[in-house]
Amino acid sequence: MPTQTEIDDADRQAREWRFSDPAPLIIGSDAHRDAACLMFRETFNPYRPSVIDWPKLDPDELKRLTSLPIWDIAVSTEDKASARMNAYGDTATDPAWREAILRNGWEERRHREVLANLVTSYGIALQPQPPDTLPADPEWGYLVTGYSECIDSFFAFGLFELARRSGYFPTALVETFEPVIQEEARHILLFANWLAWHRKRLNAWRRVRFELRVARAWIFLAWERVGLAAGMDQPDNNFTMNGSQAVSNTDISPLDLMAICLRENDRRFAGYDSRLLRPTTTPALARYAVRMGELYRRGRALMFKRDFQARQ
Ligand SMILES: [Fe+2]
Ligand SMILES: [Fe+2]
């Protein structure tokens, strides 16, 4: 068994990392690939989230936890992510990316084990899931999984912080999940850099094909999420919407939640070498939404003020 000091040291190392070569990092270069893959290897945490002492919950806490509508989708998402990452990793010809992506697949499997453990420990009943079918094209599977993680992790960062602040769940339980959330930040950091490196290495024709595929992945994910939000699919799949109501007893607007997600997103990436690229699309869309929301609020306040002055 590792000592508490060893566990704490590994936890810190998983959050802070600098590339030893001080030269500017050219995106698409061998050094860029080495930095991204080395970051992933050196921030690997061998202990957490495997070292788990599930805390005892009082009846109210247990009810809140078991009634969270996320367990089925969470377990099957980890399963699918692991299978797709391993499938792409197996086909990757570059040994550095191969090792990093297979490690990512292994970590998803570990997340699955942690969740399965929690589900069993607290007596949560999982619904049987339809059998998973891997996409015929492993690169497509990895692209969709990577982008999907970029969206879901961004919201998970905010929801997790909301759960932490609300005190709705015991601190020990929140702390148990902390390394899982940080690992998701590492995963999307790796994906963002693989994506940028991969793009730079393609010739013009392959690049066009790849960009069309990226656009198709975004359309697929947007359609999936619009479908979920409209209730056209299983309501249980609507992780973000159900999650925000279930992790906190305070009333929070979607824009305020997004502002928390943005702050948490910046905080979780702050410890990694700033020359590595961060995922940008979901934070940019959220930033835009928050700005628009602010303008709308200010506009309304001004209108009320003018209306009030006109009546005086
Ligand atoms: Fe995961
Ligand atoms: Fe992940």
pLDDT tens sequence across 76-90: 999 999 999 999 999
User: What tokens were used for 236?
Assistant: 């249980």
pLDDT tens digits, 29-79: 999 999 999 999 999 998 887 877 788 888 888 988 888 888 888 999 999
* Range in 82-91, 202-211, 223-232, 294-303 the model is least confident about: 223-232
- pLDDT value, residue 229: 65
CA of 301 to the centre of ligand 2 (A): 42
Which one of the ligands is nearest to 146 CA? Answer: 2
Q: State both tokens at 299.
A: 């506009």
Give the C-alpha separation, 80 to 64, whole Å: 26
61 C-alpha vs ligand 1 centroid, how far in Å? 24
CA distance 190 to 104: 9
From the CA of 109, which ligand is nearest? 1
Please tell me the distance from the alpha carbon of residue 246 to that of residue 189, in angstroms, as a whole number: 28
| Listed residue (268, 270, 271, 266) closest to 287, CA to CA | 266
Global confidence as pTM: 0.91
First to last CA, the chain: 74
Cα of 224 from ligand 1 centre, angstroms: 19
pLDDT reported for residue 244: 62
pLDDT given at position 52: 75
Residue 231, pLDDT score: 58
| Fold observed for domain 29-311 | Ribonucleotide Reductase, subunit A (1.10.620)
